[in-house]
Amino acid sequence: MSRTLVLVKPDGVQRQLTGEVLGRFERKGLKLAALKLVPLETAVVEEHYAHLSDKPFFGELVSFMTQSPVVAAILEGPSAVEVARQVIGATNPLEAAPGSIRGDLAIEAGENVVHGSDSDENAEIEIKRFFPELG
């Protein structure tokens, strides 16, 4: 059993896609272990996306992620990170497979509905960042 973090980004929340997004993970077989609606502080977003801080779009990304609350979820299941990333699809929705969240629900890389951890190690770091109360 492994865990991963998924964020329904501001565009997904504003478009009322949270149920659709979470349902796709559940239908795939992942279990919802924790869930909350959370407004993001700039510092948290900057830490979360620090690996992109040298990119020209970083300021826009921080602004986008702090414009409205996100839904943070911990999902559990066998190979949770890999399974979730398959359900999510490629970062660029135009390259994402039909049937994936991004392939079906997004049209641009900057606002692509959902974030998912990219490794087991990062999943644990991200879970602690968004769910510090779970220790």
Note the pLDDT tens digit of each residue in 10-52.
999 999 999 999 999 999 999 999 999 999 999 999 999 999 9
* Residue 28 in marked binding region: no
CATH of the domain at 68: 3.30.70.141
Would you state the pLDDT for residue 135?
62
pLDDT in tens, 48-93: 999 999 999 999 999 999 999 999 999 999 999 999 999 999 999 9
Count: domains in the chain: 1
Query: 50 Cβ partners below 8 Å, 6+ apart?
Result: none
- Please give the model's pTM, rounded to 2 decimal places: 0.95
Amino acid at 13: V
Domain boundaries, position 77: 2-134
The DSSP 8-state label assigned to residue 46 in this structure reads H
- What is the sign, positive or negative, of the torsion defined by CA atoms of 97, 98, 99, 103? positive
Would you state the pLDDT for residue 79?
98
* Residue 9 in marked binding region: yes
Catalytic annotation, residues: 115
Would you state the pLDDT for residue 110?
87
* Residue 92 in marked binding region: no
